[in-house]
């Protein structure tokens, strides 16, 4: 098995390297000190396993996972257990609380091996990324455009459009694709800033310019910067509510 | 008001029954005399709202006496002229007015003295009440800050990551592991001890800060460098306990935890014209951090300083594209 260690503290990476020497079947092929390096190295090297810290500069371990084309097994390691539930919802294989000893580390490796053999024997068993079901309100979204990772503040978003398995996020500057569901975004974007106007559209309330009648019981929403999006009947009543008309 | 009404009625009845002046005359006498005192009294009360009691110097005593004398003079002059103008034809009454001027002077002086005393007491209790409130408020903030300081130093993220670093060092570099255990213990001990004394010197404050930064330096290695530009005369200046700690925690949080490059935290301190100016500068990335105004740490520090020194604008923050600086301007108490 090939593994990558991602942690912003060198001493934290060192201890993983030290413990893993007891498992010659696992080879550490690289170390990264932040999520940006992590995305790049994982997509290039396609490791089987990553050790992932959560609180890191710029983008968190969770946000990094959203940007991967390749999905390795994940062992989270963090100092603080407020993330534990979220980590398991992200279908982490295991979760190490710092500081941890060799025995606990060995347990995590055992779980990884078990899952790894299951995966290799059955290629369809690959677990898709499940987005955390929790109360968090998003204040930013991390996306990848080419090789560049962008952090979009929710305040920059004008509207979001569903496109099959992806959504396209339109900001004042550009348009980004991200693999995420409309349902998830609707639930986690700040309620006072966004409104779902249609099965396929979420609009930023601040960007709304005017509403135009299109056909009977169907409307077109004009947004700043010239965008126009569809409004369904239920979307119209939601708009009525948030805009007080 | 009711007190004055009663005084006016008593005065009237007394003149009417004892001196057997007609009711109108008695009443006019009473209203003019007492009314003037009452009017002036209200005016004094109004003035009292806007002066502070301050220290009990000779000056304040003199000014209270001046107020009484001025009141007496105004009352006597206005009373005499008004009475003589209205009742000029009544010789007995004119005589009575002239005869009783001395008595009236004494009475009005006494009234004014009582009025000023009452206002003084009222103002004094109000001030006392405010003082007590302020003090209680201050106590609460100090306790909260102590608690926050404790929480942030016992910040699980900081502690457990430090312990993990130690765990790692025991394998690779036991000697350094020991150093870090000792630094961490020392730092925790200092954090737990604070709160008894209200102030300590900048030198003592910086020792604690240095321990904190040393630990972060071991965790993050070469990425963190620390520069001190503190002139010697600053070191003995007294500061409220643990006042700088939240500011350094902010510098670390935004400068180190959330950037990728090497980080330099610069601390400078100078004393000029009895003002100690401390500036802490850290790099930060304006892009990943939505500007959210002042954080809790900064707000608490600001409030503590405001109450301690009774001054506004003790804290000034300056942002450029890539650096954040917080400056404290603290009066040096001798």
Residue B209 pairs with which residues in a beta bridge?
A: none
What's the pLDDT band for B291 if we cut at 50, 70, 90?
very low
Burial class of residue B50 (count of CB atoms within 10 Å of its CB; 0-12, 13-18, 19+): exposed
| Residue in B86, B69, B73 with CA at minimum distance from that of residue B36 | B73
Nearest to B260 among A15, A55, A58 (CB): A58
Q: Which is more confidently placed, A149 or B163? A: B163
Work out the minimum CA distance from A105 to partner chain B, whole angstroms. 13
**Torsion sign, CA atoms A33, B227, B215, B244:** negative
More confident residue, B323 or B67: B323
Q: How far apart are CA B234 and CA B276, in angstroms?
A: 7
Task: Considering only the beta carbons, identify the residue of A14, A79, A153 that sits closest to B172.
Answer: A14
pLDDT at residue A87, rounded to an integer: 63
Which residue of chain A comes nearest to B288, CA vs CA?
A: A58
Residues in chain B closer than 8 A to A34 (CB atoms): 260
Element (H, E) at B190: helix B174-193
pLDDT tens-digit map of B180-190 = 999 999 988 88
Which chain B residue's Cα is nearest to A152?
Answer: B288
Minimal Cα–Cα distance from B219 to chain A, Å? 6
Distance, in Å, from the CA atom of A68 to the CA atom of A58, rounded to the nearest integer, reads 16
pLDDT digit string, tens, across residues B185-215: 998 888 777 555 578 889 988 998 999 999 9
Which residue's structure tokens are 């975004």? A185
The mean pLDDT value for B281-307 works out to 72
**Which of these, A43, A50, A53, A61, lies nearest to A28 by C-alpha position?**
A50
| Residues facing residue B239 across a β-bridge | B200
Chain A residues within 8 angstroms (CB to CB) of chain B: 8-12, 14-15, 18, 33-34, 36, 55, 57-58, 79-80, 97-99, 139-140, 151, 153, 155
- Count of CB atoms within 10 A of residue A4's CB? 22
Dihedrals phi, psi of A47, to nearest 5 degrees: -70, 165
> How confident is the model at residue A89, as a pLDDT?
66
Q: How far apart are CA A48 and CA A43, in angstroms?
A: 11
Distance CA A100, CA A223 (A): 52
Probe site for chain B from A8, A11, A84 (most B CB atoms < 10 A): A11
Q: Which range, A122-136, B16-30, B48-62, B274-288, is most confident?
A: B274-288
The pLDDT value recorded for residue A160 is 93
Distance CA B159, CA A93 (A): 25
Identify all chain B residues contacting A99, using CB atoms and an 8 Å cutoff. 160, 163-164, 166-167
Residues from chain A that touch B290, judged by Cβ atoms under 8 A, are: 139-140, 153, 155
- Cβ of B168 and A12 within 8 Å? yes
Q: Grade residue B289 by pLDDT with cuts at 50, 70 and 90.
A: low
* Placement of tokens 């779980």 in the chain: A111
Q: A-B interface: how many C-beta pairs under 8 angstroms?
A: 70
What single DSSP character describes residue A155?
A: G
**For the segment A138-192, what is each residue's pLDDT rounded down to a tens digit?**
888 888 887 788 888 888 899 999 988 889 999 988 888 888 888 888 888 988 8
């Amino acid at each position: 098995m090939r593994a990558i260690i991602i942690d912003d503290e060198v001493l934290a990476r060192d201890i993983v390297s030290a413990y893993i020497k007891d498992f010659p079947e696992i080879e550490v092929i690289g170390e990264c000190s932040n999520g940006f390096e992590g995305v790049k190295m994982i997509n290039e090297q396609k490791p089987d396993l990553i050790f992932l810290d959560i609180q890191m500069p710029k983008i968190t371990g969770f946000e990094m996972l959203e940007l991967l084309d390749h999905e390795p097994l994940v062992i989270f390691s963090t100092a603080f257990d407020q993330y534990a539930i979220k980590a398991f919802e992200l279908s982490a294989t295991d979760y190490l609380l710092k500081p941890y000893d060799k025995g606990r580390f060995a347990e995590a490796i055992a779980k990884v091996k078990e899952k790894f053999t299951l995966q290799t024997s059955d290629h369809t068993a690959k677990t898709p990324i499940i987005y955390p079901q929790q109360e968090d309100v998003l204040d930013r979204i991390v996306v990848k455009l080419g090789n560049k990772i962008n952090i979009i503040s929710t305040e920059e978003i004008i509207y979001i459009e569903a496109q099959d398995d992806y959504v396209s996020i339109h900001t004042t500057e550009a348009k980004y694709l991200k693999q995420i569901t409309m349902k998830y975004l609707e639930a986690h974007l700040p309620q006072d800033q966004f409104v779902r106007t249609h099965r396929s559209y979420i609009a930023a309330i601040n960007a709304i310019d005017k509403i135009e009648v299109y056909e009977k019981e169907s409307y077109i929403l004009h947004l700043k910067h010239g965008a126009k999006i569809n409004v369904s009947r239920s979307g119209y009543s939601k708009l009525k509510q948030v805009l007080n008309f | 008001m009711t007190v004055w009404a009663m005084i006016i009625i008593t005065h009237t009845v007394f003149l009417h029954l004892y001196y057997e002046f007609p009711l109108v005359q008695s009443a006019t006498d009473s209203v003019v005399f007492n009314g003037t005192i009452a009017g002036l009294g209200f005016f004094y009360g109004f003035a009292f709202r806007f002066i502070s009691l301050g220290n009990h110097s000779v000056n304040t005593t003199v000014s209270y006496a001046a107020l009484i004398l001025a009141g007496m003079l105004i009352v006597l002059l206005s009373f005499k002229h008004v009475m003589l103008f209205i009742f000029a034809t009544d010789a007995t009454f004119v005589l009575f007015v002239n005869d009783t001027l001395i008595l009236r002077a004494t009475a009005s002086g006494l009234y004014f003295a009582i009025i000023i005393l009452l206002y003084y007491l009222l103002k004094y209790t109000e001030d006392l009440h405010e003082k007590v409130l302020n003090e209680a408020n201050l106590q609460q903030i100090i306790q909260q800050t102590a608690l926050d300081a404790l929480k942030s130093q016992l910040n699980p993220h900081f502690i457990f990551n430090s312990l993990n670093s130690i765990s790692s060092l025991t394998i690779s570099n036991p000697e350094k592991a020991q150093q870090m255990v000792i630094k961490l213990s020392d730092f925790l001990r200092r954090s737990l001890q604070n709160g008894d004394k209200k102030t300590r010197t900048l030198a003592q404050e910086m020792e604690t800060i240095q321990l904190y930064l040393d630990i972060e330096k071991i965790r993050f290695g070469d990425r963190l460098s620390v520069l001190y530009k503190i002139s010697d005369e600053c070191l003995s200046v007294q500061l409220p306990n643990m006042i700088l700690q939240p500011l350094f925690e902010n510098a670390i949080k935004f400068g180190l935890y959330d950037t990728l490059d090497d980080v330099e935290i610069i601390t400078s301190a100078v004393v000029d014209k009895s003002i100690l100016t401390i500036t802490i500068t850290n790099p930060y990335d304006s892009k990943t951090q939505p500007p959210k105004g002042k954080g809790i740490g900064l707000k608490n520090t600001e409030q503590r300083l405001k109450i301690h020194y009774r001054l506004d604008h003790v804290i000034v923050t300056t942002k450029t594209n890539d650096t954040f600086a917080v400056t404290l301007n603290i009066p040096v108490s001798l």
